């Protein structure tokens, strides 16, 4: 669980945590991003989790495959 800022929507705060995990490699490319696990870890409803996955999908950070789930996208290597 995280300490939520009451002035911001929970889904935005959870998306921020997941962005950081993707950026630092805690969630590597092709890792499953489980809605059930997010519900449990962050103590939120499925609707909130769906907003998180929709936002990350829109940003190109995750890819959702019907019947399989959501996975971290292969991100291009940063240019040197």
pLDDT at residue 32 in the model: 97
User: Does residue 37 belong to any structural domain of this protein?
Assistant: yes
Question: Model-level pTM?
Answer: 0.89
Considering its fold, how many domains does the chain have in total?
A: 1
pLDDT at residue 2 in the model: 83
The model's confidence at residue 77, banded by pLDDT at 50, 70 and 90, is: low
pLDDT at residue 19 in the model: 97
User: Does residue 36 belong to any structural domain of this protein?
Assistant: yes
Domain of 43, CATH number, reads 1.10.10.10
Nearest CA-CA partner of 28 in 70, 75, 68: 75
75 pLDDT more than 80: no
Please give the residue range of the domain that contains residue 46: 28-72
| pLDDT digit string, tens, across residues 17-69 | 999 999 999 999 999 999 999 999 999 999 999 999 999 999 999 999 999 99
């Amino acid at each position: 669980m995280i300490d939520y800022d009451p002035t911001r929507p929970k889904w935005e705060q959870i998306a921020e945590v997941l962005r950081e995990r993707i950026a630092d490699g805690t969630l590597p490319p092709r890792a499953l991003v489980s809605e059930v696990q997010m519900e449990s870890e962050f103590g939120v409803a499925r609707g909130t989790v769906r907003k998180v996955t929709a936002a990350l999908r829109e940003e190109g950070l995750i890819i959702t495959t019907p019947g399989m789930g959501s996975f971290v996208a292969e991100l291009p290597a940063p240019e040197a």
